[in-house]
Each structure stands twice: as structure tokens, then as C-alpha cells.
Structure 1
Amino acid sequence: MSMHWALLIAVAFGSAIGGVARFLIREYLPLWLNVDFPIGTLTVNVIGCLLAGVLMSYWQAVIVSPVFKAAILVGFLGALTTFSSFSVDTLALVQEQNYAKAGFNVFVNMTFSLIAVFFGAWIGGKLAPN
């Protein structure tokens, strides 16, 4: 099998797992925590950004298969994190005229996701062998 096909299959497999994980977290976390806020989308975005930062930084110091990288970064984390769901959640809050909650949603998603990716990169750097 050529590298091209292996990459495509790896991304598809990772995407399937990431998409299912996002669906479960997005749908059930708000029910479990009993909150009236799109906490599931925020959670997948922050966790995904943290993991992306850790892996990107760590993988700079170790040898990792391009197929495995594609499966995790592009496939799994790409499907787990979701800018479209974040945007739809925000639109729904605006349509409900809940402007404060919509603004808060934008602020926490952008702020925490960026903090998470930088913090993750720092962690990955600390974990990497010298």
C-alpha cells in the first residue's frame, strides 16, 4: 500500500473515533453536569488543543510515523475539536437573544483553546527527551 493510501486510511480511522468522541461529549456532558451552556463543545476544543500542543511539541523531539501523526492530529483531533459546532452554538445563543452567554462562549472558547495549545506545547517540550 502506498504512503498516500495509508495516510488517507489513517485520517479516516482517526476521524471516525474523534467524531464519535465529540458527539458523545458534546451531547452528554451538559446533561451530566446539568448546565445550560455549550460546555461539551468548549470541553472538546480545549482538550483537543491541549493534546495538539503536547503532541506537536513532543513529536519534534522523537521519531513518529507520518501515518500515526496524520491519524492523531488531522484525523482524531481534527474531528474531536470543532469550530463549526462552536459557531453554531454561538449563533443559537444569539438567536435566543442571549447575547451575554454568546459573548462568553466566544471568549472562553478562544481564550481557553489558545491557552491550552500553548500550555500543551510547553508540557510536550518538558516531556521530550533532551
Structure 2
Amino acid sequence: MMVAVAFGGFFGSILRYAIGQYVTKRFAGTWIVNVLGSMLLAFLFHEHEQGNITDQIWSFAGIGFCGAFTTFSTFSNDVLQLMIEKHYKKALFYIASSVFVSIASAAFILYFLN
């Protein structure tokens, strides 16, 4: 299982980096990967709970890939940068939109699949 998590993390972190390089608008890349990762994780969770994917695939894709693809540490750093620059409203909006949209997207996927 650890090897599956490691390989998933390898690919998830590379894709996150690539998206960050492609999406050059400040903070947009992190926001996008966190929302997409939340949606993918919800889908994978549902499929694993239904027995449609194995523990090995869950370890690779859900734990490894999604864990490395999404990034709370970068999100936290982004928020702190905004606060240091005294952009408090932008920081609050970034926090609220990231959390709300990520959770709402995951909830929508789980609702749609059930």
C-alpha cells in the first residue's frame, strides 16, 4: 500500500506543479487544484465505499494522488502572504471561497452519485 501511495503522490505533485506553472494568475492555481482535488476525492471515496475500486487503487488515487495534488500548505502560505500585504478582504474571500467551493463541489459529487 505504501508504494501505491508513493506513486500516487509522485503523479499528484507533478500535476499540481504543472497546473501552477500553466495558471499564472496569483493564487488561482492553488484554488483550482484544491477544488478539483476535492471533487476527485469525493468521487474516489464513493467508488471505494461502493466496492468499485480496490484498496490499492484507493491508496494510489485517493490517498497518494489527491493528497499530493491538493495543497493546504500552499493555501496557508497564500493566505499569510495576503495578510502580510494587508489585503485582509482578499484573504478572507480566498479562505471562504476555497473552503466553501471545495466542500460544496465534493458534496455535489457525492449527492449526484447517490
Question: Does the pair score TM above 0.5?
Answer: yes
The answer for unaligned runs of 5 or more in structure 2 is none
Q: Which residue of 2 aligns with 1:47?
A: 36
The answer for unaligned runs of 5 or more in structure 1 is 1-6, 126-130
Higher mean C-alpha displacement, 92-101 vs 56-65: 56-65
Q: CA deviation at 1:20?
A: 0.7
Between the two proteins, the alignment pairs up a number of residues equal to 114
Q: Normalising to structure 1: TM-score of the pair?
A: 0.81
Q: Normalising to structure 2: TM-score of the pair?
A: 0.92
Q: Summarize the Cα distance change of 1:55–1:124 in structure 2 as closer, same or farther, 3 Å threshold.
A: farther
1:67 aligns with 2:80: no
2:13 aligned to 19, 23, 37, which one?
Answer: 19
Q: Sequence identity of aligned pairs in percent?
A: 32
Q: CA RMSD in A?
A: 1.3
Alpha-carbon distance between aligned partners in 2 of 1:14 and 1:106, rounded to the nearest angstrom: 27
Alpha-carbon distance between aligned partners in 2 of 1:18 and 1:112, rounded to the nearest angstrom: 20
Partner AA of 1:8 in structure 2: M
SS in structure 1 opposite 2:76? helix
Alpha-carbon distance between aligned partners in 2 of 1:101 and 1:85, rounded to the nearest angstrom: 16
Partner AA of 2:84 in structure 1: Q
Alpha-carbon distance between aligned partners in 1 of 2:4 and 2:47, rounded to the nearest angstrom: 20
Q: Which residue of 2 aligns with 1:3?
A: none
1:9 aligns with 2:14: no
